[in-house]
Amino acid sequence: MTSLPPRHIALALLIAAIWGFNFVVIHVGIAEMPPLLLAALRFVITALPAAFLPRPGLSWRRLVLVGMSLFAAQFGFLFTGMKLGMPAGLASLVLQSQALFTVVFAMIYLGERPDRRLALGGAVAGLGLILIATTIGAAGVTVMGFAFIMLAAMSWGVGNVALRGAPRSDPLALMGWLSLVPPVPLFLLSLGLEGWQADWQALTHMSWLGFGALLYIAVLSTLVGYGAWGYLMGHYPASRVAPFSVLVPVFGTVSAALVLGERFPPLRFAGMGLILVGLAIVLWPRRRTAG
């Protein structure tokens, strides 16, 4: 099986670091503006490639379904959940439960059956989520914050299943066209739930720090990050690239601890460790026997 050369291993590590640190940047962004507004603005920027690249081979129905679940719902819930009391580092880890939801939804809607490794990894990660849930109320974690991050993970899982069987497309074009879907519903939700006064105040008084956070989330994390990830996935087997995604919550928790001063009580730390082990079991490539 094709191995990644050192320069592409470095690229995969850089992407994981960018995505992990993104949760710290989101924390900064939602302190500057309402979370649904931030999500809407992010997709206004990431939709720009759609003006220059052909539409991927998805029907309009599937394009809307994936754009609403994978982008609008996931990031609307994620940003709001962090605003409601989910620390950045912990959010980066709990969100990865999307892998478990993807397996469950694929079983329900596609009739897929997980093998023993998927079942074991899911059970280990699920136990980790239960341990984390028992720490709600400690160190700033709220029930609503945790629930919204779980809804974000579920939305990601729905989007993953909706993309199954879709024709292979240029990752940048796919991301750009999917990004056309979320801005209008997110703007409307922001106006209805967050209020036009809050939105107007945020837009007219955005600081350079808030503007930088928006650019990081939209340009560096999304356009550059997903573009580079798509490049790697297009050149190597998924089983060689996907395991690097396990490092995203590692970078997320470490950067949140260093930059934001987040601390993790022992039970929560044990839960985080179990989730990482479960994800590693699910994503790590199998060894092929000779002969």
Instruction: Delimit the domains of the chain by residue range.
Output: 6-283
How high is the pLDDT of residue 284?
Answer: 67
Mean per-residue pLDDT over the chain, rounded? 86
pLDDT above 50 for 290? no
pLDDT above 80 for 136? no
How high is the pLDDT of residue 117?
Answer: 77
Confidence of residue 106 (pLDDT cuts 50, 70, 90): confident
What mean pLDDT is predicted for residues 225-249?
A: 77
Quote the pTM value: 0.87
Confidence of residue 2 (pLDDT cuts 50, 70, 90): low
How high is the pLDDT of residue 1?
Answer: 45
What mean pLDDT is predicted for residues 207-212?
A: 93
Q: Looking at mean pLDDT, say which of 31-45, 112-126, 252-266 comes out highest.
A: 31-45
How high is the pLDDT of residue 289?
Answer: 46
User: How far from 18 is each of 82, 98, 174, 214, CA to CA, in Å?
Assistant: 18, 19, 20, 14
* More confident: 9 or 151: 151
